Structure 1
Amino acid sequence: MIKKLADDFGGDDNILSMIRVANTGSRSRSKVQELKDLETKVLVQYLDRLMTSRKMDDKLETVLKHLGFLNTKITQMNPNFPDAAFLRILTAKYGDRAVAKGLPSAISTGTESTRSVAVKLQMQQLNTWKKEKKSVNDVFKLLNFDQYAGIAVVSSPGMNALHGYIKLFYTEQPALKLYIKMLSSRFNGEDKLALFLQAALNDGTTGPLVGKLKKDLFQKWKNDGLYHDSLITKVFHVKSGPPTPAVSRIAKEYNTFITPSTARETI
């Protein structure tokens, strides 16, 4: 169908221009969505032809290695494309989950142009989820975190996307609380999550995300009104006797974290 339209109307550019004109004049929400879906199909087909002409295979990994080039070619088709056009193509072709898990790799290992486009696409995806009113739980399920436990959660490809999404709601305590609850459930409790993050930081092999997760956990405890002593008794369940060295270190670092504005206890 798309190929026939392209042949009948003189190419993808003409089809897209006609779709845009029709979209502008349409007042029906269903018609607007129908036209938007058609536009996405045209763009996906264009990407397929472009990749074939460059002798690229059809894998998402290949697309992510050439984001700079492909993004330039897509946006050159029509200067009036919405900013998220390329994201729509990728999610339509590969799915929301695959794109979310793939972009962090492009950000961390790609060329400068690849990283620039990948960062932009990731923010567009996160903001699209927010616009669609996806909850933290929705994103947790979308990224298929139920299949992970323990260290696999932190090292999973979707962790970067989940962490980025929660940052959009960082001032909203319920979202942060749910996020930490979900993470800690994969470690059998906040105490075990905290001990893992501390050990991972000491090990130094798990990447910068671990430090960010630890800060998120501290922020959640701060929101809960915990201090040094209450943290040890309520989170780490130390009712009598001295805490272990690892717990003592976490409590000391947490006390430093909250000291600027709220700490009432000292060590």
Structure 2
Amino acid sequence: LEGIYVIKRFERETGDIDVILGGTGGAIRPTPSPDGKYLAYIKREDFDSELYLYDLESGEETRLYTELDRDMQETWAIHGVYPTMDWTPDGKHMIFWAGGKIMKLNVAEKSANIIPFSVETTKKVQQALRFETNLDQDNFKVKMLRMVQVAPNGKQVTYEALGHLYQRGLPSGEPERLTDRDGAWELYPTYSRDGKKLAYVTWDDQKQGQIIVRDVASGREQVLDTGMGKFVEPVFAPDGKSLVYRKI
């Protein structure tokens, strides 16, 4: 994890801004000590978020606590990447949240204790809102179309729904199955630039997948000699003579 968050220092007299902490693991939640000599902050070590102490004069970094909850550097952290922490007025302890508890850390000894905390409250629990849904229906309307591809001439669209490919004429044609294949999913349709060919991939849990090129006019299909595997995102070359795809 590198380059997502850094800690910067703003020099109020000159207006200069310098990065003082960052790099691998990021640097978040800068919290200066009361005497201004140290900066507590959080960084990532492998998959763990850990509390560090930074000496603002010497640049020395000291690990203080290793059992923080995972920070939110990779996510949309609208409420911050980790809950706020603070020093006690004498600068000897830090107060922070970890493991669902409020912790008090002795900075010199690097030892932490739980600060007991409880709340007496009354909550009203509403009855859950439920709707009856019939899951055993032979026919129903599909509400999600995936991998939608419009033919180059704009007269037809191909898409995946419920594991199969469908086509419909534009603007108001009726959807029809592209094939009568059963037992395998059909995915990732893509047209050649001239609209004469349509490529797609299949997937079967037992037989794995294949890449198929279909002649749009005749419906004839050719299975490409790629061997069995899991293929995604085929794309025709501009001249339509070759196909690029990913095997995962």
In the superposition, the TM-score normalised over structure 2's length comes to 0.18
Bigger fraction of residues in strand: 2
Bigger fraction of residues in helix: 1
Q: Which has the larger radius of gyration?
A: 2
Greater RCO between the two (CA within 8 Å, min separation 6)? 1
